[in-house]
Amino acid sequence: MPQPAQPTGTTTPSTAGRGLLAWRNAVFVIFFISGLTLATWMSRIPAARDGLQLSTAEVGILIFGLSAGSVLGLVAAVWMLGRFGARRAMLLSASLSVVGLTLVGGGASLLTSAPFVFVGLALVGFGIGSLDVVMNVEGAAAEREIGKTLMPLMHACFSLGTVVGALVGAGASLIGLPVHLHLVGIAILVLATALVAVRYIPQLDPRAETAAASPAASPKSRRERLRESLIVWADPKILLIGTIVLGMTFAEGSANDWLALASVDGHGLSNTEGAIVFGVFVAAMTVGRVLGGPVIDRFGRVPVLRSCAVLGVLGLLLFILAPSHALIYCGTVLWGLGASLGFPVGMSAAADDTKNAAARVSAVAMIGYFAFLVGPPVLGLLGQAWGILNALFLILALMVLAGLAAPAARETRHVSG
């Protein structure tokens, strides 16, 4: 078996070969357990709602705890990298998610306390949000050392984790497993896996990892970076790319939060069937992300984004208006495929201008995570007033806007002199 990566500050022959593969595989595993953690909660939302006896609007407020915690985790991630290094930051983030998942399970089916679940979700969100930054920084570092494009596969591992989480959640619902036993079991598995995986993450200089996560963290360029970060918000192209990411991210995040519940409340499916529908969605997302790179290389960003928007709109219409279970599943597949590529393509488009890439990517990412933050309560309030299926028309409208803004993501053509 390959040995754990050694704590070195630079790449040496000992980190080549099997050591590099172990590093890569460890990052794959971290992406996977992050998706597994998120989907474990998502798949049991209907059961938690029933146990807590919440209205649709109250569910939206509850899920807001997860979104708010995620944003705080994103902000804290750079500090965590600088203070602890990637290995310990990953373990700390995973541990916070595990504690939060345990609190959510206990609050949902033992204490039946919505405030308790809210606090647990905030911890889950903080852990997943901070882990998202750290694992992407570490993934990029491994990619550079190996010399191959690996990030799409890493994100596919996250999506695969959501598929497994959804399937396990559906199985737990089918056999009537209480929410707290399900969530605690997954929490133990996630923590044990993280403890093993991080042993293969190299312990590099925390300052170097912080710089990789955020060039703005360098004291030497702090003032200029701040100015550049503000200037990009006046760039119409960045705002249009942000519109793409907003629409696609809203479609993805809203499905994570509401798809299972919409299947149950809107279409009369059982809690188990609702979890299966969510599993179909994340499976479609995974397929879209695995195949997306070659498709974009062949046809270009703009046609692919437009096609994704069309697929998403058709999928949402089918799901909302479906008169049969078969069309519900067809709509879910199209919805998942349509939402799969918006965020990664938006990040690539924002980074085309290498002169100010960090500020541009940061701005677009902030717009995307804004959708995760406001989506749950907005759809909850709309669903309470007009029904959860009717509330989904908001996603459809944003997908249309994303498709119209697609030309902003056109590849930059560099002309040699």
Cβ atoms within 10 A of the Cβ of 40, count?
A: 30
Identical fold for domains 1-213 and 219-410, yes or no, is yes
Residue tagged 């029904």 (tokens):
387
Position 159: which residue type? S
Cα angle 347, 133, 407; round to 5: 10
Answer yes or no: are the C-beta atoms of 383 and 322 closer than 8 Å: no
Taking residues 375-403, what's their average pLDDT? 90
Poorest-confidence range of 142-151, 276-285, 336-345, 380-389? 142-151
Host H or E run for residue 226: helix 222-231
More confident residue, 77 or 285: 285
Mean pLDDT, all residues of the chain: 84
- State whether CATH 2.60.120.10 applies to domain 219-410: no
Dist CA 278 CA 343 (whole Å) = 19
* Domain 1-213, CATH homologous superfamily name and number: MFS general substrate transporter like domains (1.20.1250.20)
Neighbouring residues of 103: CB distance < 8 A, sequence distance ≥ 6: 116, 117, 119, 120, 123
- Asked if residue 383 has pLDDT above 60, the reply is yes
Answer yes or no: are the C-beta atoms of 269 and 263 closer than 8 Å: yes
- Asked if residue 25 has pLDDT above 90, the reply is yes
| pLDDT at 52 (0 to 100) | 93
Poorest-confidence range of 59-63, 312-316, 351-355? 351-355
- Asked if residue 79 has pLDDT above 90, the reply is no
DSSP state at residue 307: H
CA-nearest of 322, 358, 350 to 412 is: 350
Dist CA 117 CA 106 (whole Å) = 8
Dist CA 321 CA 292 (whole Å) = 28
| pLDDT at 13 (0 to 100) | 46
Residue tagged 């306390």 (tokens):
113
Position 181: which residue type? L
**Among residues of the chain, what percentage have pLDDT more than 90?**
46
Dist CA 293 CA 86 (whole Å) = 27
Q: Estimate the share of the chain in helix, then strand, then coil, as percent rounded to the nearest 5.
A: 85, 0, 15
Dist CA 156 CA 134 (whole Å) = 17
DSSP-assigned states of every residue in 63-77: HHHHHHHHHHHHHHH
More confident residue, 217 or 147: 147
| pLDDT at 311 (0 to 100) | 97
CA-nearest of 113, 90, 265 to 180 is: 113
Host H or E run for residue 333: helix 325-339
CA-nearest of 157, 128, 170, 135 to 40 is: 170
Which sequence spans correspond to the domains of the chain? 1-213, 219-410
